[in-house]
Structure 1
Amino acid sequence: MEIKEFTVDQKLRLDKLVAVEEPTISRSQAKAGIEAGNITVDGNVVKPKDIAELGATVHIALPDPEPLDLTPENIPLDIVYEDDDVIVVNKPQGMVVHPAPGHPNHTLVNALLYHSPLSTINGKFRPGIVHRIDKDTSGLLMVAKNDHAHQSLSAQLQAKTNLREYVAIVHGNFKEDQGIVRAPLGRSPKDRKKQAVVADGRPAVTHFRVLERYGDYTLIACRLETGRTHQIRVHLAYIGHPVAGDPLYGPKKTLKGAGQFLHARELGFKQPTTGKELVFTAPVPPIFAATIEKLRKQAGLPVDKAI
């Protein structure tokens, strides 16, 4: 059991205040702790939306986090390609890539470990993982089965020689047909769960081109030159075209789905041992395809065109 206390010195709703005062506790964890009675104010049970009086004492007694589990799990995988060095997998929307607090198991890594040995370079909890995509982003990932392959794939990412192209449905109607977003990214100074364009952030470059226009929405392709956390989502929100369905960076009024309409459609790299150029594609998930068909009908466009 972790015990902490602090004195209230600013007027914020309690769940947000706890997350601000205690960086190791997320706002969702704070909300859950308050609702469970594990976070109190001057000994009193409160609600997440309550605003405590200045000078009051907030007492936090949270249970120890659930240990991360790297047990191999027999979870079905959509394997697009595999050889002695690499696995290319089409990750479904809703699956977390590797174990982390709040997602201790049932991840892509648990499924991969059941299927094959993986490289050990990226640490205990991320074996084989060379790059990631978000939980609610679908699409292609390359996974290293040994350390030699991991070093090769990582070097290709660093040298920007590999291919990573996404498709996204975004809000608004682009005036231009293509463009480049160059804007440095780092942790948001306003919300530590978010990334943001910040002056002292890491360089980030996203290339985009318009595929179809639907009036209030646009279908685009995005090619990553760099691979920062949430890069496409933040860059598109930054230029006024947030990804539809994005709960973190987009508007509340958006397209209904199972998260952001963002899919890693194309992936290319050199095979680590032979040097052969490999390129793979994966179709968008059914909910993505159905949404495009609906938008095409509303815009009077052909519905049977390939995405």
Structure 2
Amino acid sequence: MLFQGTFHIDASGDGLRLDRVLETVMPGTGLRLRRRLCEEERVLVDGRARKPGYRVRTGQPVEVKEVEEMATPSALGLRIVKCEDGFAAVNKPGGVHSALIAGKSEANAEAVLPNLFPGQAPVLLNRLDHMTSGLLLVALTPEARRAYLEYEGQGSIKKFYLARVRGRLDGIVSVRNRLDTDDRKITRVLAESDPDFRRWTGVTALSHDNMADTSLVRCLIMKGARHQIRAHLASIGHPIVGDPLYGGGECPHGLMLQHQRLEMPGFQVEIIPLF
């Protein structure tokens, strides 16, 4: 499990950043996780909460407040799909957090990436909602991370999702409304269009189930915002099946949304559709 308790900085840690020295008592944890613990004031030095970049000194007591046990990749249902040219793709099931949520301590995919890629410095490049299944992209080198950010800025990354939505949806729709993500729970769809094409959601109808009155659709985004696909689909009258937040109702199979394919220069990956 993650370390809980108090330890003292020895000579080897003198002058190091707090988020770095924490690795000595939390081996296998990612740097981003350790930084978040500091930001959430779960790490105290001399009895005071300190920022991740705080430089510790020999002899200082460091207290780590209670954090839930860190799960293993297999326990979370994570599976490596592909590794190539500094990138890796991991399949995440629905019901698993992509990363640590502020104020929470649940097990998450980002925290166990070092276990999936031992001896490397994996960095999570995208996130999926807790209820959403599918592909998480990971950079295994600093060069890969820089390349991803460059591709994202250029709009040359394509993320394809499958969703089953309420009602009959035909043809192709481009939802271009700007999103307001300030609310921590619900993303609001605004009336005006977003000038950034990377924030649009392209929707292509694939099939319709007459008995259930639901449609299977493929969604394309390039640089997603929080709940982008869920909010955009609901705004055009077709909430995703199993989405209690945006009007899709309950479903025994959970949220019917899967990040199924990703394309970018030099790297493509796809997983088997769930529905």
TM-score greater than 0.5 by the shorter chain: yes
Displacement of 1:283 in angstroms is 1.5
**1:114-146: CA deviations, max 9, x gaps?**
222565xxxxxxx61211111110111211122
Q: What secondary structure does 1:154 align onto? A: helix
Task: Determine the structure 1 residue equivalent to 2:175.
Answer: 181
State the match for 2:47 in structure 1: none
Partner of 1:166: 161
- Relative to 1, partners in 2 of residues 1:185 and 1:89: Cα closer, same or farther, differing over 3 Å? same
The AA in structure 1 aligned to 2:109 is: L
1-structure distance, mates of 2:179, 2:262: 23
Change (3 A) 1:129 1:206: same
Q: Is the 8 A contact 2:239 2:247 kept in 1?
A: yes
Alignment-mate amino acid for residue 74 of structure 1: T
In the TM superposition, what is the alpha-carbon distance from 1:198 to its structure 2 partner? 2.5
Counterpart residue number, 1:227: 224
| Distance change (3 Å), C-alpha of 1:148 and 1:193 | same
Secondary structure of 1:220's counterpart equals strand
Match of 1:193 in 2: 185
TM-score computed with the length of structure 1 as normaliser: 0.60
TM-aligned CA distance change 1:251 to 1:90, over 3 Å? closer
For 1:75, the aligned partner's letter is P
Q: Tell me what 2:31 maps to.
A: none
* Cα RMSD after superposing both structures: 2.6
Which consecutive residues of structure 1, in runs of 5 or more, have no partner in the other structure? 1-65, 120-126, 271-276, 290-307
Q: Distance in 2 between matches of 1:207 and 1:90?
A: 23
Query: Which residue number in structure 1 is paired with residue 267 of structure 2?
Result: 278
Compared with structure 1, are the counterparts of its residues 235 and 118 closer, same or farther at alpha carbon in structure 2 (3 Å cutoff)? farther
**How many angstroms does 1:84 deviate by?**
5.9
* Cross-structure match for 1:49: none
Deviations 1:150-194 (A, max 9, x none): 1111221221111210000000101x3112111000136xx6411
TM-score normalised by length of structure 2: 0.66
Aligned residues: 203
Task: For 2:81 and 2:244, locate their aligned partners in 1 and report how far apart those are by CA, in whole Å.
Answer: 29
SS at match of 1:184: strand
Conserved? CA contact 2:94–2:130, under 8 Å: yes
Share of identical aligned residues, percent? Answer: 29
* Contact in 2 for aligned 1:207/1:225 (Cα 8 Å): no
Amino acid at match of 1:197: V
In the alignment, residue 211 of structure 1 is paired with which amino acid? Answer: L
